[in-house]
Amino acid sequence: MRYRLIIFDWDGTLMDSEARIVDCMLAAARDTGLAELSRAAVRDIIGLGLPEAIDKLCPGIGAARAETLRQHYALRFRAADQTPLRFFPGVEQGIARLRAGRSTRLAVATGKSRRGLDRVFAANGSGAWFDASRTADETRSKPHPQMLEELLDETGVDVGDAVMVGDTEYDLDMARALGMDRIAVTYGVHEPRRLAACQPSFTAHAFPELIDWLHA
C-alpha cells in the first residue's frame, strides 16, 4: 500500500449526491425569494462548508438572509434524506479492500456538517469504515488545510504518508497547501482541467481505478 492514511472527500467522491445538493439549494433559494440560481453555480460550490458556499453563491445578501437560506437548505436536505443516496459504483467493495490492509487508516474530510455526516454514517453503517473524520462546521472549511492538519494529528501520521482523494479543486488545494499527495477523481463535480491544475499525483476516472492504483 502506498500510504498509511487515505483521506476521502464525501460528496462527489464517495457518494453520488450532486443532484440532491443542487436541487435542495435551488429550492431553498426559491423559498427565500432570492434570484434564481443556476445549476452550474451550485455545482461549483459543492465541497465548501455551507456558510462559505452561500457567501460564494450569493455575495452581499447579508447575514440575516444568508442564515435564512442556510436554514431552508438544511430543511430541504433533511427531508430529502429520507430517501437514501447511493455510493458511486465500486466504493463499498473498494473500501473493503483498503480496510483489509491493516496498516492503512481511512478518514473523511468533508464540507458536510457533523450532524449531516453522522446521519449518513448511521443510515448505511459507513461510519465503521473510518478511523477519523472532520466536517466543515467543527473546523475551517476547505480549501483551508486545517481539517487535514487535525486528521494527521489525530491519527499520528506524517503528511508524507497521507493522501487526499477528492473531486474538487477545494479538496486538492487543501492538500497542496500542506504538501500532501492528492488524487483527483473525475466522475464528481469539477471538470478534469480544473483538477489537473492542482497537480494531482494520480487521476482516477472510476473508483475501482483509484483502488487499483493505491494497491499497485
Q: How far apart are the first and last CA of the chain?
A: 7
Residue 88 identity (one-letter amino acid): F
CA angle 74, 192, 14 (to 5 degrees): 45
Task: State how beta strands 181-185 and 105-110 pair.
Answer: unpaired
Cell numbers 478518514 correspond to what residue? 107
Cell numbers 472527500 correspond to what residue? 9
Catalytic residue of the set 11, 44, 171, 181: 11
What is the grid cell recorded at 114?
457533523
- Is residue 40 classed as helix, strand or coil in its secondary structure? helix
- Is residue 168 classed as helix, strand or coil in its secondary structure? coil
H or E segment to which residue 163 belongs: strand 162-166
Per the annotation, the verdict on 11 as an active-site residue is yes
Instruction: Name which of 134, 158, 157, 166 is nearest 147 in CA terms.
Output: 134
Catalytic residue of the set 9, 44, 171, 173: 9
Per the annotation, the verdict on 171 as an active-site residue is no
Catalytic residues: 9, 11
